[in-house]
């Protein structure tokens, strides 16, 4: 018996599959790697074995190796990293900001407007095209190639974690699945918050009327569980700078959750942040907002930091990044605008 897999769509941030399988009462003693090949469509034996070596295959809540023999009524749980849609990756010499690299993985501080993975609308110019070129030039070992572990949107800047081999990817997939990856985002959002911190919970799924955008389903009748924690960093009156920490990695999770609580991200066109939601009706204020939008022609969202257990060393490591110039400039403009208004009121 196999239950419906918890399949993370390729557009979503975390790239893994979770399956739960219960062996039949009459199941013969069969190696678990062979057993799973017959139960999971498209899963190669090598991929299953890498998942086992990473500790991602558990029988009755205990990690097992590929040669484990399946017994009748065993309860099997497997987490497997899965690549996006199979497309040929063309190596391209594109400048990227690699902030850390070792034999197993690397981290990139992605610029806004760079797509992460090639798709049918864009085969070239993506982060994976650039990473493929980089690895071909710098690491000649067999099997080395960029393996995505998560994604961020085209117009979101910040840190991305990439594995160099499938075993490392499988190790990291488990951490994403177990929610032990520490991810901090910085967002400039519309409105002021009554509280200094809080949590947004609500299933996220595709809007039935517009499949390009996501919606919150608070009753849990659709979508998948999503949890976002936020904390106020600075208040500017009409907008607020906040920190967001993710427990889950759904498509557009932060953008969707913030819109749901009536604080859409500044200049997020898809979720209503590209119109003036707070402030005055004076023409000078409108001109000020328009100038901010020109400086920051995207959603004001940056993946600032990332912490995880290194799959090889077993040590927890942490990486941080500065806000990109466009976002930092707009935040500074709001600091000055807010300070000026406070002086005017005194």
Catalytic positions, please? 153
| DSSP type of residue 265 | B
For tokens 């849609």, the residue is: 85
- Total count of residues recorded for the chain: 346
Rounded Cα distance, 222 and 238, in Å: 33
Three-state DSSP class for 106?
strand
Inter-residue contact 109 to 158 (CB < 8 Å): yes
Tokens (6 digits) for 80: 């497997």
Strand runs labelled E in the chain: 6-7, 16-22, 30-31, 57-59, 62-63, 69-70, 75-81, 98-101, 105-110, 147-148, 157-163, 182-190, 197-201, 203-207, 210-217, 227-235, 239-246, 301-309, 316-320
Inter-residue contact 176 to 192 (CB < 8 Å): no
Residue 320, beta-bridge partner list: 305
Q: At a CB cut-off of 8 Å and minimum separation 6, what does 302 contact?
A: 156, 157, 158, 185, 186, 187, 321, 323, 324, 327
């Amino acid at each position: 018996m196999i239950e419906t897999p918890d399949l993370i769509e390729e557009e979503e941030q975390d790239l893994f599959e979770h399956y739960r399988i219960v062996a039949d009462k009459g199941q013969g003693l069969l190696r678990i790697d062979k057993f799973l090949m017959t139960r999971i469509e498209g899963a190669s034996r090598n991929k299953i074995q890498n998942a086992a070596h990473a500790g991602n295959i558990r029988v009755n809540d205990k990690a097992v190796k590929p040669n484990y023999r399946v017994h009748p009524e065993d309860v099997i749980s497997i987490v497997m990293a899965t690549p996006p849609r199979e497309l040929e990756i063309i190596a391209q010499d594109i400048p990227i900001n690699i902030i850390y690299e070792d034999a197993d993985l690397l981290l990139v501080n992605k610029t806004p407007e760079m797509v992460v993975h090639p798709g049918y609308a864009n085969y070239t110019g993506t982060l994976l095209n650039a990473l493929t070129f980089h690895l071909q030039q710098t690491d000649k070992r067999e099997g080395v190639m960029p393996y995505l572990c998560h994604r961020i949107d085209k117009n979101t800047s910040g840190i991305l974690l990439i594995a160099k081999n499938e075993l490392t990817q499988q190790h990291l997939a488990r951490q994403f699945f177990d929610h032990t990856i520490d991810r901090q985002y910085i967002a400039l959002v519309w409105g002021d918050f009554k509280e200094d911190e809080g949590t947004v919970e609500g299933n996220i799924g595709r809007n039935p009327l517009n499949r390009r955008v996501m919606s919150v389903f608070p009753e849990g009748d659709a979508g998948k569980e999503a949890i976002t924690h936020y904390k106020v960093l600075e208040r500017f009156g009409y907008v607020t700078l906040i920190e967001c920490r993710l427990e889950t990695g759904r498509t557009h999770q932060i953008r969707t959750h913030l819109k749901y609580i009536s604080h859409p991200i500044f200049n997020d066109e898809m979720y209503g942040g590209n119109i003036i939601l707070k402030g005055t009706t004076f023409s000078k204020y409108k001109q000020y907002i328009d100038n901010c939008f020109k400086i920051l022609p995207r959603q004001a969202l940056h993946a600032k930091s990332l912490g995880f257990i290194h799959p090889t060393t077993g040590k927890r490591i942490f990486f941080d990044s500065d806000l990109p110039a466009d976002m930092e400039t707009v935040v500074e403009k709001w600091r000055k605008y807010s300070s000026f208004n406070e002086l005017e009121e005194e």
